[in-house]
Amino acid sequence: MSSDHSSCLFCKIVRGEIPSRKVYEDDELLVFHDIHPWAPVHFLMVPKRHIDSLAQVQEADAPLLGRMLALAPKLALQEGCRPYPQGGHRVVINTGAEGGQEVHHLHVHVMGGPRPWLKG
């Protein structure tokens, strides 16, 4: 991928150039609702620093990924998922074309709520 991320959709959202329905934000992360949800609860967690995909993650990124995974269940409950074990949520990271990645900026989908869902 190019090192110029000026046209990256998620970089534009992080910079505030494209509006989003924010769920959470801190110095490293932005979390916002998916505009085409597959489930009653569906939000995306993106690092503010551009990383193309999970395939480009370095060992130094482990704390960031750990924070994202630790935060996911808290935000899922906040956004309306029922608690484990009767409730729950799904965490998905699509990687590369064959993995279904459409936006080449690392992002974590968090989906939950009553089934059946549109997809997945």
Q: Output the pLDDT for position 3.
A: 66
Q: Output the pLDDT for position 117.
A: 86
Angle at 53 between CA 10 and CA 15, to 5 degrees: 20
Domain boundaries, the chain: 9-112
**Catalytic-labelled residue, pool 5, 50, 104, 107:** 107
Annotation says 107 is catalytic: yes
Ranges of H-type helices in the chain? 9-14, 62-78
Q: For the chain, report the end-to-end CA distance as a whole number of angstroms.
A: 28
What is the mean pLDDT of each successive set of 10 residues along the chain, which is 120 residues long?
80 97 98 96 98 97 98 98 96 97 98 85
Q: Does domain 9-112 have CATH number 3.90.1200.10?
A: no
